[in-house]
């Protein structure tokens, strides 16, 4: 069994904040993979389903970002799971908008939700960092993450959420490299190769020279 937690702040006031991209990602996963309806449990909104044959409980902690670990820790202990069974999706200002990185363990990067998780369940959970970009000045970070996505962000944001939801079964199966590469390919598809230029004189598109008119090409000499 896996716990899949999206981080954010509860309530309509924060719904479109950059800080809530984790909530947005798990909302799309639940919708795409036809999980159960949301219900209140473990100080969170919860939905149940499966990914790649693995039973999954999705959590959206309702404790506010800075106390996210309380909810995840409660669910972890109830199901007697290890931190390695937890996948957390959250915003990352040090990644460009639309970029994604996956790693097991690591530091908090100054993210209060991750700091809370480490305090409650340790460091060995999986982290899916979803890039929201940096405002360029550390003094502006707080307002940036608690600000809403701009209308111009809609194109890449919807594409990213769709890609994550589409490819999350690979991560549930333990294949983080495939998950990352497939999401990256969806976000930046390879350019189509230009058509091959026909050689000079290849008027019929089949290559080679036309047969001389004096030599039979489809009848025998008999």
* H or E element that contains 117: helix 112-121
The average pLDDT across 103-127 equals 94
CATH no. of 2-187? 3.40.50.1470
Q: What positions carry a catalytic annotation?
A: 19
- 169 and 37 in contact (C-beta within 8 Å)? no
Helix, strand, coil percent values for the chain (each to nearest 5): 40, 20, 40
For tokens 């998780």, the residue is: 117
Residues 6+ apart with CB under 8 A from 153: 97
Ranges of beta strands (E only) in 105-169 are 126-131
For residue 84, how many other CB atoms are within 10 A of its CB? 14
Model pLDDT, residue 215: 44
Confidence bin at 204 (pLDDT 50/70/90): low
Model pLDDT, residue 200: 65
Ranges of beta strands (E only) in the chain are 2-6, 39-41, 44-51, 54-61, 86-92, 100-104, 126-131
Q: Which of 10-24, 76-90, 208-222 has the lowest mean pLDDT?
A: 208-222
The average pLDDT across 104-112 equals 91
- 78 and 85 in contact (C-beta within 8 Å)? no
- Indicate whether 216 pLDDT > 50: no
- Indicate whether 211 pLDDT > 80: no
124: Cα separation from own chain's centroid: 19
């Amino acid at each position: 069994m896996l716990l899949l937690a999206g981080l954010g702040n509860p309530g309509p006031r924060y719904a479109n904040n950059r800080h809530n991209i984790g909530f947005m990602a798990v909302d799309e996963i639940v919708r795409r993979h036809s999980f159960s309806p949301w219900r209140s449990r473990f100080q969170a909104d919860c939905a149940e389903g499966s990914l790649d044959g693995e039973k999954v409980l999705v959590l959206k902690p309702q404790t506010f970002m800075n106390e996210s670990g309380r909810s995840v820790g409660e669910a972890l202990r109830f199901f007697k799971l290890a931190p390695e069974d937890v996948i957390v999706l959250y915003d990352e200002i040090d990644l460009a908008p639309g970029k994604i990185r996956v790693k097991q363990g690591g530091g908090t990067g100054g993210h209060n939700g991750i700091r809370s998780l480490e305090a409650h369940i340790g460091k060995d959970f999986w982290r899916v960092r979803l890039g929201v970009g940096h405002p360029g000045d550390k003094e502006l970070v707080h307002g940036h993450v608690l600000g809403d996505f701009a209308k111009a962000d809609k194109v890449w944001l919807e594409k990213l959420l769709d890609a994550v939801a589409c490819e999350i079964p690979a991560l549930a199966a333990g294949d983080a490299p495939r998950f990352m590469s497939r999401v990256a390919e969806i976000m930046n598809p390879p350019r189509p190769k230009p058509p091959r230029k026909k050689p000079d004189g290849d008027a019929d598109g089949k290559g080679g020279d036309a047969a001389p008119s004096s030599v039979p090409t489809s009848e025998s000499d008999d």
